[in-house]
Structure 1
Amino acid sequence: MATGRTHRPATRSRGIPEATVARLPLYLRALTALSERSVPTVSSEELAAAAGVNSAKLRKDFSYLGSYGTRGVGYDVEYLVYQISRELGLTQDWPVVIVGIGNLGAALANYGGFASRGFRVAALIDADPAMAGRPVAGIPVQHTDELEAIIRDNGVSIGVIATPAGAAQQVCDRLVAAGVTSILNFAPTVLSVPDGVDVRKVDLSIELQILAFHEQRKAGEEAAAGTAAVPAATREQSATDQGPDGDVPAVMPA
């Protein structure tokens, strides 16, 4: 079985823009759902809606893959699943190590979607000696002392960091020194890596803060809309009830 050490995805060499690459997993997820329902073809409009993009952007993205669909018929679902999977490098086995088997790391280890998407959890690694040998998701946890040997023996090129922030950079350095060239970072810190190493960061607190911003803005818009809905006569009466400096008088006139 091929491993991540000897094969790389075709997207870089084919000149596909990074923005398009970022949307390919969205298309693949939507197409996989259609495939599971035995839907043979899909229009660009239907697929774009399922993926949350506009149809013009979808057609442009697919043009980089050399896939243009058939007028009046649409896109062949199974062929697109294969084509996008090939571009993303998912038609081969990618062994992955997860470092840091706390609550988050254990949840990731138990995630059932890795295998179906071309990834195999090759090892679970933790610095706590008490964790060594303990099975998580059916895989025995190994100590960080074995990190380099695990990466070498399994041909690992993708590492997942789920450690506390203070340990993340040291773990990252060891992964890179051992030959890992792609890292998915769940630790709440920014990692420093050399050229040629790709890092994707997943920060749940940042995502929640962005949602809080949007909630606050929506609340402000609703409040503004409520003020605008008050009849003008009422607002004018309210203004006449105020004192010379705009304050409500302490004693209202009889």
Structure 2
Amino acid sequence: MFELLTVALASLLAGFIDAVVGGGGLVLVPALFGVFPQAAPATLFGTNKGASIWGTAWATAQYARRVSLNWPALLPAAGIALLGSFAGAWTVTLVDPGFLRRALPLILLLVLAYTLARKDLGRQHAPRFNGRAETLVAGGIGLGVGFYDGFFGPGTGSFFVFLFVRLLGYDFLHASATAKLMNTATNAAAIALFAFKGHIWWHIAAVMAVTNVAGSLVGTRMALARGAGFVRGMFIVVVSGLILKTGWDAFFR
């Protein structure tokens, strides 16, 4: 019961972070590895996905009620992201993704530096494209980041948010809402693969899903109430945390 309570509380916090800006895995994955050190890594990753998809899907629904999204452009892009995630998961069975371990903290550091240097980045919602052009650009982001999510994974939500802000001209609130849609698709692809391989503890994932949705509810309401500036601030905090975590894993473990 103590182990279950620990991961349930971690899932609550992860749901909050994921709902605001993504990056909940920064909390939940280490918690699972700490509580269940003897478990197969694939099982812990699968259980994480089996719980977190519910909070992400809930956040998507909540954002959809309050944030205007271009659904005709973004739904096809989410489908492409799902296919990209499948392709990445298939590729990881052929190629070792270990080479990304050292590159990831450096890439995240560049993302953070660019965001801090551009004080106005993501504060105003001014989409650069419409119609088919928006679908193509969003689909390209979905394919690339979806592939990365299936292949390696850490920082997926942050990459989605940053690219939607930088390439599509979204503010951080709209980018975060769109990232939830994309993340739901990529998580669904991952869950299908993990479930097929028998790598999800459904009884634990079910409990974590409940608290993940609760955290998601709080995070979504706070993001909607406080707007793009709050989401930008959370983005900086989460990316900084990801840099420290991935840097430690890559260079010191």
TM-score (norm 1): 0.19
Question: Greater RCO between the two (CA within 8 Å, min separation 6)?
Answer: 2
Bigger strand share: 1
Give the structure with the larger helix fraction: 2
Q: What's the TM-score, normalizing by structure 2?
A: 0.19
